[in-house]
């Protein structure tokens, strides 16, 4: 039996909060599938994604196939003190770097919160397209993200567009897996 062909990406568009809310179940399911998480994870993440939509600088990019199914998603917002991820990363970076270095990265930055492509659509550049569209015009002097450690397509993408290590083998509260925190200055240069 041969594998099903990858869905063709028909369009990549910016989504408003109302547009993402209307497709939130589909978007969170894409996230669960792409990350290999248990199905129940979707119930925990949907309210968090809804809360993120209210943060300053929030923006979202969706990729759709010719059947109008969501095959890729990316979103983020301005990171700020008091946000869970900001506090976790700030604390971790202070253990490794002088405060001035930490503040240079962690003030006025865009947090790339989620970037996922459905597994049967990976490997064709869609993740980079979503990333570039999301960061084109994003607020902030820099962009920061966290990703599980390990050689993955996501790692290759982040390296290709110039992300550098800020923290390695970091453990977030409540997750036993090691993560890397990566960053790079904005804006991104045009793809070549």
Contact 112, 74 (CB under 8 A): yes
In three-state secondary structure terms, 183 is strand
Residue 186 is given by DSSP the state S
First to last CA, the chain: 38
In three-state secondary structure terms, 159 is helix
Residue 142: which of 115, 113, 190, 109 has the closest Cα? 109
Which are the catalytic amino acids?
158
Q: Phi and psi for 109 in degrees, rounded to 5?
A: -125, 155
Q: If phi over 0 gives left and psi between -120 and 50 gives alpha, with beta otherwise, what is residue 185?
A: beta
Between CA 126 and CA 130 the distance in angstroms is 6
Residue 33 has which token pair?
A: 């599938």
Contact 149, 180 (CB under 8 A): yes
């Amino acid at each position: 039996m041969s594998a099903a062909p990858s869905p063709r990406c028909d369009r990549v568009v910016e989504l408003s909060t109302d547009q993402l809310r209307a497709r939130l179940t589909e978007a969170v399911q894409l996230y669960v599938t792409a990350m290999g998480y248990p199905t129940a994870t979707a119930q925990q993440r949907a309210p968090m994604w809804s809360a993120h939509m209210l943060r300053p600088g929030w923006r979202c990019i969706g990729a759709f196939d010719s059947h109008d199914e969501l095959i890729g998603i990316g979103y983020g917002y301005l990171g700020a003190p008091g946000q869970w991820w900001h506090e976790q990363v700030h604390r971790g970076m202070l253990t490794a770097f002088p405060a001035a270095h930490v503040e240079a990265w962690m003030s006025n930055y865009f947090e790339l919160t989620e970037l996922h492509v459905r597994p049967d659509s990976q490997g064709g550049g869609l993740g980079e397209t979503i990333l570039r569209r999301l960061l084109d015009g994003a607020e902030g002097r820099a962009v920061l993200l966290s990703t599980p450690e390990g050689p993955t397509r996501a790692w290759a993408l982040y390296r290709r567009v110039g992300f550098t290590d800020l923290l390695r083998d970091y453990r977030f509260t409540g997750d036993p897996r090691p993560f890397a925190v990566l960053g790079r200055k904005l804006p991104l240069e045009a793809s070549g």
